[in-house]
Amino acid sequence: MSEDHYLTIRQLFSESVIINLIVFAVLFIFTLGQEWNNIFLFLFPIITFSFSLFFKLIDVNKWRTKFKESPIVYNPLGSEKKIANRFNFSAILQMVFLFWIGAESFYHPQLIDDYGFYFNLIFLFLYSFVYFWMFMDIWKYSHIKISYKEKKDKTLETIKSYEKIIKFLNVKNFRIISYINLSIFLILNGLNLYFTWFTYKGNITGIYLELPGTALEFSQSLLISYIFLPILIISPIFFVMLLYLIYKDINSLTEENLKDALNGLSKNERSLVLKNFVSLNKKLLEKININQLLERLEGKTNS
């Protein structure tokens, strides 16, 4: 592990991060180039892509927090790679949808009134679904484990393998998070359907957004419901809160967790594992007396 505590911009942004940035930026510029006067709808893919970029940076730089050939698999947030890819997919899809509605306002402006209702439903579904998607299988990847392999005899090439999950997202917590997440997703999309329906029926006032082709052939602005703003804010807030609960649960290591995991390792291996834990997250072993733990394990081994 490098002794440097700060990364340069060049070190931080890998090739895959730059590719994602370029693809999103090009699509963003092409869409904005349609001469959108109101960019409120662009906030949705921007927020989505920001999450993608955040998790992508964690994923590509995660190795910097570990020793070379570290035996620790540390995933308190689940699979950062999968999370980043899902957010990136959703952001690109939202930008494509904005480009499409912008183009339609030029080529078929008279049909915008017919498309508006479905645009409200589909666009917010695309935005909110990704936050629901994140937690569908997060239990598979949220864990801390030791995965250790060592050649015992270089001539015979026999390999000693050791793998032990120290902490994972248990079924009870996963169910609670899943129920909360599903409820939020259904409520937000149910409210969107309700408000959009009555907005287009004229029972509730809405917001008129000018599209690039608005006023062509006497076409009207795009009508959206007031539910857009709450959903823009609520979805990421609940996502961060639920992810924090998972992170906190996974990182609540106890001495019993470590005892069970370190029992099958030699003294040197135990020391290496504990050093790796400190390098990954200093707070992980904050409440554990490492020296006493090693002494007790050594005494148990000798007896």
Same-domain status, 96 and 184: yes
- pLDDT tens, residue by residue, 14-42: 788 999 999 999 999 999 999 898 899 99
Same-domain status, 258 and 245: no
Please indicate, yes or no, if residue 68 is contained in any of the structural domains.
yes
| Composition of the chain by helix, strand, coil, percent to 5 | 65, 10, 25
Residue 224 bridge partners (DSSP):
207
Same-domain status, 135 and 177: yes
Please indicate, yes or no, if residue 39 is contained in any of the structural domains.
yes
Q: Tell me the residue range of the domain where 167 lies.
A: 9-252
Please indicate, yes or no, if residue 143 is contained in any of the structural domains.
yes
- pLDDT tens, residue by residue, 199-210: 999 889 999 998
DSSP element (H, E) containing 188? helix 171-201
Asked if residue 65 has pLDDT above 80, the reply is: no
Among 226, 252, 278, give the residue marking a domain's end.
252
Same-domain status, 110 and 139: yes
Same-domain status, 88 and 198: yes
Residue 145 bridge partners (DSSP):
73, 165
Residues in the chain: 303
Same-domain status, 301 and 244: no
Mean pLDDT of all residues belonging to the chain: 85
What is the distance between the alpha carbons of residues 77 and 84, in angstroms, rounded to a whole number? 12
Model confidence, pTM: 0.86
Q: Which of 199, 205, 214, 2 is nearest to 104 (CA)?
A: 214
Q: Yes or no: say if 207 and 228 are a contact pair by the CB < 8 Å rule.
A: yes
Same-domain status, 76 and 158: yes
For the chain, the first-to-last Cα distance in angstroms comes to: 36
Same-domain status, 260 and 247: no
272 CB contacts (<8 Å, ≥6 apart)? 67, 71
Same-domain status, 277 and 146: no
Among 215, 235, 252, give the residue marking a domain's end.
252
Beta strand pairing status for 158-168 and 143-153? antiparallel
Please indicate, yes or no, if residue 63 is contained in any of the structural domains.
yes
pLDDT of the residue at 198: 95
Same-domain status, 224 and 280: no
Same-domain status, 297 and 211: no
Please indicate, yes or no, if residue 187 is contained in any of the structural domains.
yes
What is the distance between the alpha carbons of residues 262 and 70, in angstroms, rounded to a whole number? 15
Please indicate, yes or no, if residue 4 is contained in any of the structural domains.
no
Tell me how many domains the chain contains: 2
Same-domain status, 61 and 187: yes
Asked if residue 2 has pLDDT above 50, the reply is: no
- pLDDT tens, residue by residue, 70-94: 778 888 999 999 999 999 999 999 9
Please indicate, yes or no, if residue 2 is contained in any of the structural domains.
no
Residue 149 bridge partners (DSSP):
161
